[in-house]
Amino acid sequence: MTPSPTEDTRGWASSCPPPGGGPAQSGERLLRPTADDHRIARHAAAAIVLTVAEAAVPLPLPGVKPGLANIITLVVLARWGWREAVWVALLRVLVGSLLLGQFLAPGFFLSLAGSLLSLVVLGGAAQLPGRWLGPVSHSILAAFAHIAGQLVVARLWLVPHDGVFYLVPVFALAATVFGLANGLIAARLLQEELQCSAPASAGEGQG
């Protein structure tokens, strides 16, 4: 929605001479995090906390998770735009898998595939008119993209048999329920951030 204002000054690879006037010819590079980087890190940290907390909740079927961290992705998408949402979501997948000991395990690739596809869908959904489609729509669409990405990887690599599709209705129902819940929570957070006590008029005022 709003392009991040300091996109080109993001300091991931910018080289700055050391302020003390040190040896410039040593080739040292000083990475200076910008305000954008701090904000991405804060949001990613919140998403990682939710991922780790969620891993402690027992669930009846492997592969069905609420995906609470996606609430953060949705809020970042609405407030700071798609590029920041991509950063937050992918950092969350990477660091979350490292913390849970899942890095490069099958679950990591399932999670990565689901996240990548849902980010693509979110990129498209963010272009749709926001007056009609809010965070709840984004959340449900992203949840379906997530299970689609996971199922494609599972079918091609982990379970090369059409039997995986037998579980599609279960995954679809989980995507609907958790997508709705996460989307509603994200919408409420966005409302409170904007300090609009009357949500109906706030929606019209922004449309």
Partner 1 sequence: MISGPALRSWLAAWAACLRGGDVLVLVAALGVCLASALSLWQGGRPDKAVIKAGGRTFAEVPLSAPAVIDVPGPLGATRIEIQPGRARVAADPGPRQYCVRQGWLNTAGAVAICAPNQVSLALSGRRADYDSLAY
Positions in the binding site for partner 1 (CB under 8 A) = 128-129, 131-137, 140-141, 144, 165-166, 168-169, 172-173, 175-176, 179-180, 183-184, 187-188, 191, 199-200, 203
For partner 1, the closer CB: 96 or 179: 179
Both tokens of 55, joined, read 């891993």
Count CB neighbours of 13 within 10 A: 7
User: Of 40 and 187, which has the nearer Cβ to partner 1?
Assistant: 187
CB of 144 to partner 1, least distance (A): 7
The length of the chain in residues reads 207
Q: Looking at beta carbons only, is 52 or 180 nearer to partner 1?
A: 180
Q: Tell the smallest beta-carbon distance from residue 29 to partner 1 (Å).
A: 45
CB 78, min distance to partner 1, A: 12
Report, in Å, the least distance between residue 170 CB and partner 1: 9
63 Rama class: left (phi>0) / alpha (psi -120 to 50) / beta: left
- Distance from the first to the final alpha carbon of the chain: 12
Nearest in space to 74 (alpha carbons), one of 151, 201, 179, 200: 179
Closer to partner 1 by CB, 29 or 131: give it: 131
Residue 35 or residue 168: which is nearer to partner 1 going by CB? 168
Phi-psi category of residue 169: left, alpha or beta, with phi > 0 → left and psi -120 to 50 → alpha:
alpha
Residue 197 C-beta: closest distance to partner 1, Å: 11
Residue with tokens 């690599």: 157
How far apart are the C-alpha atoms of 121 and 119, rounded to whole Å?
5
